[in-house]
Structure 1
Amino acid sequence: MKRFVDVTGSIILLVLLAPAIVVTALLVAIDIGRPVLFWQQRPGLGGRAFRVYKFRTMRPAFDTDGRALPDNERASRLGSFLRRCRLDELPQLFNILVGEMSFIGPRPLLPVDQPMGASGRLLVRPGLTGWAQVKGGRTLSPADKVALDVWYVRNASLAVDAEIVWRTILMVLGGDREDPNAVRQAWADIAQRAPAARVDSIVTADRNDVQAAAAPVDCRTSLAS
């Protein structure tokens, strides 16, 4: 049923949003440059790697003389707007259509950010939006996001998915708002289901090792690569 909704919904949205996708691509080409898309390799369902596509939101990391540019010179108003409104994620409708992603599920992480002890989040297709995104999103620590993702995998239902859809709309319109109660519930669920030693390892890996292991990743890999 969920796959049917994903296929049908992605086709409908690709048709309805085609003008917006084309206009966004043109604006990116003019303001930031070509190619207009970039991709990153990320683990998906069952840990299988796939390419996540996004509109570019940053200018090249080096100028024509080969000088490395600081982020403030690479940033653009268009890119900031696309990220704030999540419009840079529109190309992922194609990922949903071909079955690599779902509308709802844990966001796909870079391999370096995939924490040990939380492989349960790979038991479902990664999503365009998810429980962690609507319960704090970018305001959350990587550890709390993982805990919320694991909670979703264990408690997914039609009602939860409906809440995620509704809260995603509110998030796009009003920005990220952290829900401390949801975070506490997620960690409590982990503690209740796992032996004490296992919980300690999860907490340690998530709260310390994950953040320490996260290294800067070159996000400029493009379709031309």
Structure 2
Amino acid sequence: MKSILKSIFERCLALLGLIITFPILIIVIIIGLFDTGSPVFIQERVGRNKKPFKLIKFRTMSVETKSVASHLASPASITRFGSFLRKTKIDELPQLINVLKGEMSFVGPRPNLFNQVELIKERHIRGVYSVKPGITGLAQINTIDMSTPELLAQTDQKMIEGLSIKKYFIYIIKTVIGNGSGDRVK
């Protein structure tokens, strides 16, 4: 019952967020068309129970950038507009669609790529894939990214085991006010 209420709450909140941010989404799409020619970025990621889903974000890197974890991408591949989107976290707004579809949560472990074998192994051992991936979480507000798979998986496990309503909202608020940087290009 608790998870059904959480899912309904998150989907309603995601819909409200999409409605409120609709003008921003349209502006970013228009500017993104001029920036990269392809403003929306869709990539297959590992979801709950290791099921694939299509993560939706605004494109922050050139179209030719290889599909690798952010920490492995070249800083030169980030466009100027993309840099702004990353700093403001506006690039994450389309993930509200993933939340609305029930593929993601607002708070949970960041979804990784299927080619991140070491991270998948570490997360599997710790039961991290038993929950939906999230837009933000404990690792993101503490600037722990996917370049340290064991630490990230441990942090994800700690978050999952200790997640309360209070912590849920603290993680969201800290993300909105700019704590942490999550997955970043180094």
Q: TM-score range by the shorter chain?
A: 0.7 to 0.9
- In the other structure, the counterpart of 1:61 is 64
Listed one character per residue, the Cα deviations across residues 101-137 of structure 1 (whole Å, up to 9, x for unaligned) are 0111111011122331422111111101111111224
Alignment of 1:77-88 (within 5 A): 77-88=80-91
- Aligned match for 1:52, one of 52, 55, 63: 55
- Aligned match for 1:29, one of 22, 27, 33: 33
Alignment of 1:186-205 (within 5 A): none
- Distance in 1, matches of 2:168 and 2:152, equals 17
- In the other structure, the counterpart of 1:118 is 123
Cα distance change of structure 1 residues 115 and 17 upon mapping to structure 2, 3 Å threshold? same
- Distance in 1, matches of 2:130 and 2:146, equals 25
If the length of structure 2 is used for normalisation, what is the TM-score?
0.80
Cα distance change of structure 1 residues 72 and 9 upon mapping to structure 2, 3 Å threshold? closer
- Distance in 2, matches of 1:176 and 1:79, equals 14
Describe the SS at the equivalent of 1:145.
helix
Amino acid at match of 1:40: Q
Give how far 1:60 is off.
Answer: 3.1
If the length of structure 1 is used for normalisation, what is the TM-score?
0.67
Mapped pair 1:155 → 2:162: yes
Q: Which runs of 5+ in 1 are unaligned?
A: 63-69, 178-225
- In the other structure, the counterpart of 1:196 is none
Mapped pair 1:15 → 2:19: yes
- Distance in 2, matches of 1:75 and 1:164, equals 26
Mapped pair 1:38 → 2:51: no
- Distance in 1, matches of 2:55 and 2:93, equals 11
Give how far 1:85 is off.
Answer: 1.6
Note if contact 1:123-1:153 (Cα within 8 Å) is conserved in structure 2.
Answer: no
Give how far 1:73 is off.
Answer: 5.7
Amino acid at match of 1:166: I
Listed one character per residue, the Cα deviations across residues 119-177 of structure 1 (whole Å, up to 9, x for unaligned) are 21111111011111112244973322221101112222112212212221232xx6549
Q: Which runs of 5+ in 2 are unaligned?
A: 66-72
Runs (4+) of structure 1 exceeding 3 A deviation are 70-75, 137-140, 174-177
Q: CA RMSD in A?
A: 2.3
Amino acid at match of 1:142: P
Listed one character per residue, the Cα deviations across residues 56-88 of structure 1 (whole Å, up to 9, x for unaligned) are 1122329xxxxxxx9566432101111122111
Give how far 1:92 is off.
Answer: 0.8
- Distance in 2, matches of 1:46 and 1:102, equals 14
Mapped pair 1:95 → 2:98: yes
- Distance in 2, matches of 1:72 and 1:176, equals 15
